[in-house]
């Protein structure tokens, strides 16, 4: 990068997006910005050779090119030129693949305000990489001049004698360790900075390196302990300085890199879990759809002209019941899809709390006929100060959430009682449904609000069947109406599900 000038190569086929990116960067950089905008491989290769950009910004998908292919080329031709993915949307899998293939960062176009910071951080990291590369090369080639380059390595660096006593430490090592130079040099040994779990291994390496026998890698990771006992992940590069009894060590703090690696691993695990859930869902929904369909087809085939009217009515009732169940399943699938796609409408109006419970009470009476084998009594408790309170929200959405809470309570309760109602807390109204069912282990209390997740995923019996969308719909609906759903539960005791809403006025 020339002084005062920053050359930016953009792989972007959308002119509007390109203009937005340029405007965002001009507002955040004092340097003169020089842009080259291309969208194909031929011009990309040409610009790398002629334009020699300071940084590359690339859309993930282009009509004639893509980010992964561009990354492969950039890593080969310009490995120290920061490469940042700037795209409209990117999945966890795609982000992980991009970083794996050499991307320095990625920014979603909906958050372009992150781009200037990402560029600045990448340019700083580029400087650090260049300094480290240069320092390592100079140490190798100019072993007799190590004191001259010592302070310009770009990493925390120390030189120590055969006993491990540090007699030279640079400024970056001061920062890394938390000690002042006069507290380190000729007073401390490198062993005091090593976590106990790594110490024996590193002492063995140190001994082997000096005698030239056994395992003694020149680069490896270890856990560094600073003055304030903070632990940091360090990539150590160490070697013996020829014709002396001393060794030089360069320490690169990779704590953030390790953190990012863990995040990528978590992203992969989430992707794997998503794949598992999809498979589980397909198996489960296949079963749930076939059950009512088999009943409809089976009972329909039994009907004939010679059948008595009573028998026809009986079979028609069963067919109707199975059709209703099938419709509920399809409605749930459509509902969660619309909610997740932000296609569900929010229709806020002012209404009284009583209006909600009038509908809920009627639905409970219907459910008594739907679950005749359940010996459950319902109890309603509504704070007296809420009886005539009006709120501004979507009444039907609230009714749907509370109704699903009640259905969930019925399904997972065999006997005893179900309590439902509402209470006021600060400036919020909280609708709740409390059961004395099987309860939910703490480890599952967040998962059950995710699509296709149920309390017992390994044994979904006919009694507690379903496709695991009810509570996910509740959560998405609550988000739509600016509310919150959560649960309190203990296995074997029961659960209480809550919908919390602010008391707003039109």
pLDDT, tens digit (0-9, with 9 covering 90-100), for 352-409: 888 898 999 888 887 766 676 677 788 899 988 887 788 889 999 999 999 989 888 8
The one-character DSSP state at 227 is T
Predicted pLDDT at 3? 62
Predicted pLDDT at 368? 65
Q: Tell me: pLDDT of 472 over 90.
A: no
Q: Tell me: pLDDT of 221 over 60.
A: yes
Q: Where are the beta strands (DSSP E) in 183-335?
A: 219-225, 231-240, 247-253
Find the range with the poorest average confidence among 116-120, 234-238, 241-245, 320-324: 320-324
Reported as a single tens digit per residue, the pLDDT across 173-219 is 999 999 999 999 999 999 999 999 999 999 999 988 888 777 889 99
Predicted pLDDT at 283? 66
Predicted pLDDT at 255? 92
What superfamily does domain 142-253 belong to in CATH?
PAS domain (3.30.450.20)
User: Which CATH number is associated with domain 5-130?
Assistant: 3.40.50.2300
Structure tokens that stand for 149 in this block = 């380059």
| 266 vs 189: CA distance, rounded Å | 37
Partners of 157 in the β-ladder: 250
Average pLDDT over residues 28-55: 93
Confidence of residue 230 (pLDDT cuts 50, 70, 90): very high
Confidence of residue 288 (pLDDT cuts 50, 70, 90): low
Reported as a single tens digit per residue, the pLDDT across 69-93 is 999 999 999 999 999 999 887 777 8
Domain(s) labelled CATH 3.30.450.20 in the chain stretch across: 142-253
| 453 vs 466: CA distance, rounded Å | 10
Q: Tell me: pLDDT of 464 over 60.
A: no
Name residue, tokens 């040099």.
185
Pair type for strands 417-425 and 428-435: antiparallel
Domain(s) labelled CATH 3.30.565.10 in the chain stretch across: 346-506
427 Cβ neighbours under 8 A, 6+ residues apart:
502, 503
| 408 vs 420: CA distance, rounded Å | 12
Mark out the alpha helices in 303-427 (DSSP H runs).
309-340, 353-370, 395-411
Query: Cβ distance 176 to 226 under 8 Å?
Result: yes
The arrangement of strands across the sheet holding 166-169 comes to 166-169, 156-160, 247-253, 231-240, 219-225
Whose CA is closest to 446, among 489, 486, 410?
A: 486
Reported as a single tens digit per residue, the pLDDT across 291-326 is 777 777 777 777 776 777 777 777 787 787 777 767
Q: Tell me: pLDDT of 28 over 70.
A: yes
Packing angle, helices 395-411 and 470-480, rounded to 10: 160
Q: Tell me: pLDDT of 461 over 50.
A: no
Phi-psi region of 347 (alpha: psi -120 to 50; beta: other; left: phi over 0): beta
Query: Cβ distance 6 to 32 under 8 Å?
Result: yes
Domain spanning 274-344: which CATH class is it, in words? mainly alpha
Domain(s) labelled CATH 1.10.287.130 in the chain stretch across: 274-344
Query: Cβ distance 406 to 364 under 8 Å?
Result: yes
Domain(s) labelled CATH 3.40.50.2300 in the chain stretch across: 5-130
| 199 vs 192: CA distance, rounded Å | 9
| 322 vs 318: CA distance, rounded Å | 6
CA 237 to chain centre: 33
User: Which CATH number is associated with domain 346-506?
Assistant: 3.30.565.10
Reported as a single tens digit per residue, the pLDDT across 96-106 is 888 888 899 98
| 195 vs 226: CA distance, rounded Å | 10
The one-character DSSP state at 427 is T
Predicted pLDDT at 47? 94
Q: Compute the residue count for the chain.
A: 506
| 24 vs 30: CA distance, rounded Å | 12
Question: How far apart, in Å, are the Cα atoms of 354 and each of 36, 194, 357, 395, 506?
Answer: 64, 66, 5, 11, 18
Partners of 391 in the β-ladder: 351
Please state, for a pLDDT cut of 90, what percent of the chain lies above it. Answer: 39
Structure tokens that stand for 239 in this block = 């070697």
């Amino acid at each position: 990068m020339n002084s005062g000038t920053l050359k930016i190569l953009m792989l972007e086929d959308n002119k509007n997006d390109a203009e937005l990116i340029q405007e965002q960067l001009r507002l955040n950089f004092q340097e003169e910005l020089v842009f080259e905008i291309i969208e194909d491989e031929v011009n990309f290769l040409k610009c790398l050779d002629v334009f020699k950009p300071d940084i590359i910004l690339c859309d993930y998908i282009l009509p004639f090119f893509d980010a992964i292919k561009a990354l492969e080329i950039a890593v080969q031709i310009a490995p120290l030129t920061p490469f940042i993915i700037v795209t409209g949307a990117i999945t966890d899998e795609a982000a992980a693949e991009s970083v794996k293939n050499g991307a320095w960062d990625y920014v979603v176009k909906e958050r372009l305000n992150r781009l200037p910071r990402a560029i600045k951080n990448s340019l700083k990291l580029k400087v650090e990489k260049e300094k480290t590369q240069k320092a390592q090369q100079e140490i190798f080639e100019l072993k007799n001049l190590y004191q001259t380059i010592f302070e310009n390595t770009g990493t925390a660096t120390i030189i120590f004698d055969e006993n491990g006593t540090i007699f030279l430490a640079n400024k970056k090592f001061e920062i890394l360790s938390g000690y002042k130079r006069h507290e380190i040099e000729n007073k401390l040994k490198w062993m005091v900075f090593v976590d106990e779990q790594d110490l024996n291994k590193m002492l063995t390496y140190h001994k082997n390196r000096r005698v030239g026998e056994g395992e003694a890698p020149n680069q490896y990771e270890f856990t560094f302990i600073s003055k304030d006992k903070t632990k940091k992940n360090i990539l150590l590069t160490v070697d013996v300085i020829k014709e002396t009894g001393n060794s030089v060590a360069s320490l690169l703090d990779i704590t953030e890199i390790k953190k990012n690696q863990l995040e990528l691993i978590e992203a992969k695990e989430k992707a794997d879990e998503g794949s598992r859930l999809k498979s589980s869902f397909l198996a489960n929904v296949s079963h749930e759809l076939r059950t009512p369909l088999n009943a409809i087809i089976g009972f329909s085939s039994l009907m004939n002209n010679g059948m008595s009217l009573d028998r026809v009515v009986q079979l028609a009732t069963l067919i109707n019941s199975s059709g209703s169940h099938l419709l509920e399943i399809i409605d749930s699938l459509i509902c969660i899809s619309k909610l997740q796609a932000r296609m569900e409408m929010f229709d806020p109006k002012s209404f009284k709390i009583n209006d909600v419970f009038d509908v809920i009470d009627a639905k409970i009476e219907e459910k008594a006929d739907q679950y005749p084998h359940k010996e459950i009594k319902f109890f309603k408790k509504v704070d007296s100060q809420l009886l005539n309170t009006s709120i501004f929200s979507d009444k039907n959405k609230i009714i749907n959430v509370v109704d699903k809470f009640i259905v969930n309570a019925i399904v997972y309760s065999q006997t005893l009682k179900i309590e439902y109602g509402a209470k006021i807390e600060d400036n919020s109204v909280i609708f709740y449904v409390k059961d004395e069912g099987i309860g939910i282990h703490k480890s599952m209390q967040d998962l059950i609000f995710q699509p296709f997740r149920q309390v017992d995923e390994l044994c979904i019996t006919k009694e507690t069947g379903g496709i695991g969308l009810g509570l996910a719909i509740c959560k998405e609906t609550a988000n739509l109406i600016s509310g919150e759903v959560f649960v309190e539960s203990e296995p074997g005791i029961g659960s209480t599900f809550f919908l919390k809403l602010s008391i707003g006025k039109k």
